[in-house]
Amino acid sequence: MTQPPQTQQGQELPVEGTLAGLDLLAITTIGPVLHVRLNRPTKRNAISDRLIAQLHTAFLNLPPDTRAVLLSGEGDHFCAGLDLSELVARDARAAVAHSRGWHAAFDAIQFGSVPVIAVLHGAVIGGGLELASACHLRVAEPSTYFGLPEGQRGIFVGGGGSVRIPRLIGTARMTDMMLTGRIFDAADGERFGIVNYLASTGEGVAKGLALAQKVAANAPMTSFAVMHALPRIVEQSPSEGLFTESLVSALASTTPEAQERLQAFLQGKAAKVVKS
């Protein structure tokens, strides 16, 4: 087994236990960051039943000292979507169960214990776009292209895309993608709102890792609130949202870590916000 590469941000170390046995994922740690790579490069990291199960297992079994996850894809593509070679005839009940399995895996990413930063390159198609939309931040290299070809293949999104993707790019753009097969690139992705950061070719992982390490330094309760409370507040009425905000704000600001950080700022020991 080859040793994981050393990056400028730290050495990647192999994992042990349950995560080490997930053969369709390459998983390493870099300090408090867990790096999860989709590891089916010859299949363009297409999502098979085994891969979705292993993703679910990985995010349910994060090492206790993990503070952020970096998600990327081996080879030339992030993820080309559903592995169509595994499509089998299913009755409606089995098809619903299959879709719900994807929902459970992606819910474990979006509503898990730590923030997830996705690094995108090459194809981010169908289920790959659904996977990316379940992450909290997305970095894209110039080779990245997005598509939802389900409409041309006689199927419909089933991995949570109809819920998550319109919240990022709008219903009209998703409608266009599904009805016409429209493809858009990384620059469009940033303009449309699904890409948070653009990176140069080959620099996506380094950019994503830097962001993950920055996020890992946040107070855990703050990250938890952003991940779990913010998307729910957005769905509430204004009065309900404001009340929920008060409760979450009170919980976050009264933790010992928050009190220490606030005192450090007041004593001039913490950096002030400046324009970079």
Active site residues: 130, 150
Q: Could you give the CA distance from residue 167 to residue 135 in angstroms, rounded to a whole number?
A: 13
> Which whole-number Å values give the CA distances from 241 to 6, 232, 233, in the listed order?
44, 8, 5
Q: Report helix, strand or coil for 155.
A: coil
CA atoms within 13 A on the CB side of 64: 0
Q: Are 65 and 31 in contact (CB under 8 A)?
A: no
Q: What gap in Å lies between CA 72 and CA 79, rounded to an integer?
A: 9
Amino acid in the structure at residue 21: G
Burial class (CB in 10 A: 0-12, 13-18, 19+), 105: buried
**In angstroms, rounded to a whole number, what is the distance separating the alpha carbons of residues 104 and 58?**
12
CB 158 within 8 A of CB 129: no
In 74-203 the beta strands, taken as DSSP E runs, fall at: 116-120, 123-125, 137-140, 145-147, 184-185, 197-198
Q: What are phi and psi of 244, to 5 degrees?
A: -60, -40
